[in-house]
């Protein structure tokens, strides 16, 4: 395990190596996390293009809208900030085109980066997400969807996911952004001359714990299956979902509502409503080195990922043996 203090000391002693970075997310361009992340990267000397969805696109995975024209908001082009996707909900469904994380990052890579740098970025950073993306949940994550499409282009990419408290706690957001800047600096200072930041088609999935002030340092982890202690289910009455109600209460309290009123409001709003819900569970994965367990314990986790859905060779061989004889 590499402690946070050791990594910090290494980074501080290393020269700044400016990179061209496309920054995206799945929570929209108008969020605290992405704005603070952009500022931190620029302060560290990097050139940054923000290309994100115009509206919240959490849980969209690798979704994309195609065979339709897509709106791009370039009103903040002078600040190298762009958002992708329609925002006028009065548009007919057949014509409405959402800007998913995959589409947003591709705009950054294929259009904005070419205009500004004349080439692909050195790095794509997706996040920080308002909520952790761990284990099996990575399959559904828009944060990871944008990361994977960048990896498919051979561009090094880092997915960053933080606790939900970063949606309204600027101090936590600042600490997460500083963590990412440290990791990027370490990658840049340690790479061989002329080499990319990471091996081809390889990325990182970084998750930060609830309390960054007292985090236990960096831990290199496996993705595993544990989604951080939660699993999906479909509920016929969302008012009984403790995780969902807790999330809504947190949002309402961030808007100034007291806790008791926020809880009553959330439960009334969800009473009798059906929809996707959460239950508590570890997906059968209690391995301390799985990122879902490690981030819950208080570590900043770093898992190495790639854009290939190929199973490990040992699993392939076992499966192929069972299928022998198929015509």
The answer regarding whether domain 4-227+283-309 maps to CATH 2.40.37.10 reads no
Residue 254: C-alpha distances to residues 42, 122, 141, 249, 292 (Å):
28, 36, 24, 8, 26
Q: Active site includes 161?
A: yes
**Contacts for 224 with CB less than 8 Å, ≥ 6 apart:** 135, 285, 287, 289, 290, 291, 292, 293
Helices (H) and strands (E) counted in the chain, each on its own, are 10, 11
Q: What pLDDT shows up at residue 311?
A: 66
Q: What is the pLDDT of residues 22-66, one digit of tens each?
A: 999 999 999 999 999 999 999 999 999 999 999 999 888 898 988
Tell me how many degrees the CA angle 148-278-131 measures, rounded to the nearest 5.
45
Q: What pLDDT shows up at residue 14?
A: 39
Query: CA 264, CA 253: separation in Å to the nearest integer?
Result: 12
**Contacts for 110 with CB less than 8 Å, ≥ 6 apart:** none
Residue boundaries of the structural domains of the chain: 4-227+283-309, 230-280
What predicted TM-score, i.e. pTM, was given to this entire model?
0.87
Catalytic annotation, pick one of 51, 58, 161, 303: 161
Mean residue pLDDT of the chain comes to 90
Q: What is the pLDDT of residues 111-165, one digit of tens each?
A: 999 999 999 999 999 999 999 999 999 999 999 999 999 999 999 999 999 999 9
């Amino acid at each position: 395990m590499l402690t946070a203090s050791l990594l910090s000391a290494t980074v501080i002693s290393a020269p700044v190596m400016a990179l061209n970075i496309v920054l995206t997310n799945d929570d929209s361009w108008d969020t605290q996390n992405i704005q603070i992340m952009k500022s931190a990267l620029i302060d560290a000397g990097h050139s940054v293009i923000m290309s994100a969805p115009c509206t919240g696109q959490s849980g969209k995975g690798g979704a994309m809208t195609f065979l339709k024209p897509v709106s791009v908001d370039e009103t903040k082009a002078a600040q190298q900030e762009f958002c992708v996707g329609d925002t006028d909900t009065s548009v007919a469904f057949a014509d409405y085109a959402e800007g998913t994380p995959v589409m947003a990052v591709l705009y950054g890579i294929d259009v904005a980066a070419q205009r500004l740098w004349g080439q692909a970025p050195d790095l794509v950073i997706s996040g920080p997400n308002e909520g952790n993306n761990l284990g099996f949940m990575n399959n559904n994550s828009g944060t990871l969807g944008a990361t994977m499409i960048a990896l498919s282009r051979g561009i090094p990419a880092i997915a960053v996911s933080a606790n939900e408290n970063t949606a309204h706690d600027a101090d936590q957001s600042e600490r997460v952004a500083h963590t990412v800047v440290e990791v990027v600096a370490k990658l840049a200072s340690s790479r061989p001359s002329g080499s990319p930041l990471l091996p081809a088609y390889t990325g990182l999935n970084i998750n930060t714990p609830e309390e960054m002030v007292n985090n236990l340092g960096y831990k290199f982890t496996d993705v595993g299956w544990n989604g951080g202690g939660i699993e999906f289910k479909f509920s016929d009455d969302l008012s009984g979902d403790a995780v969902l109600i807790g999330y809504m209460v947190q949002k309402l309290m961030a808007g100034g509502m007291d806790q008791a009123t926020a809880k009553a409001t959330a439960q009334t709003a969800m009473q009798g409503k059906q929809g996707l819900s959460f239950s508590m569970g570890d997906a059968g994965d209690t391995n301390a080195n799985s990122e879902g367990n490690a981030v819950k314990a208080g570590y900043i986790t770093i898992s190495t990922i790639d854009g290939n859905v190929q199973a490990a060779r040992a699993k392939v061989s076992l499966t192929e043996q069972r299928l022998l004889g198929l015509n």
